[in-house]
Amino acid sequence: MALPYAVLAGLAGVFEFRRHRTTIDPVRIEAASSLVTSGIFGVTRNPMYLGLAAILLGAAIVLRSPLALVGPAVFVAYIWRFQIIPEERVMREKFGADYAAYRQLVRAWL
């Protein structure tokens, strides 16, 4: 089952942030002290959001209901608009060209 991989993706993101001693608080993105590009962040820029989306998608599949797919879709749309876009704005301001280069190399999701 894919659930362990979804959880591991999220935990790997937390681990990398902790290893680099930067914030994992998505509300206080301006407190980010370093641009983390190692580990899981070499595969996806948003491993924690990816993990949550995968868990929701897995739940929808287990429920075997097309209507249940609305949940993951709403989550992705919401997180993109109200979390990822603002986070990326702050990252561009804080890390400039380094962040721009990172965005060119690593996709937002997969």
pLDDT digits (tens, 9 = 90+) for 35-75: 999 999 999 999 999 999 999 999 999 999 899 999 999 99
Domain boundaries, the chain: 3-105
Q: Which residues contact 82 (CB under 8 A, 6 or more apart)?
A: none
Half-sphere exposure of 45 (CA within 13 A, CB side): 18
Over residues 93-110, mean pLDDT: 96
Render the chain in DSSP notation, one character per residue: --HHHHHHHHHHHHHHHHHTT----TT-GGG--S---SGGGGT-S-HHHHHHHHHHHHHHHHHT-GGGGHHHHHHHHHHIIIIIHHHHHHHHHHHHHHHHHHHHHS-S--
Task: Provide the whole-model pTM.
Answer: 0.91
pLDDT digits (tens, 9 = 90+) for 85-94: 999 999 999 9
Q: Which pLDDT score is estimated for 5?
A: 87
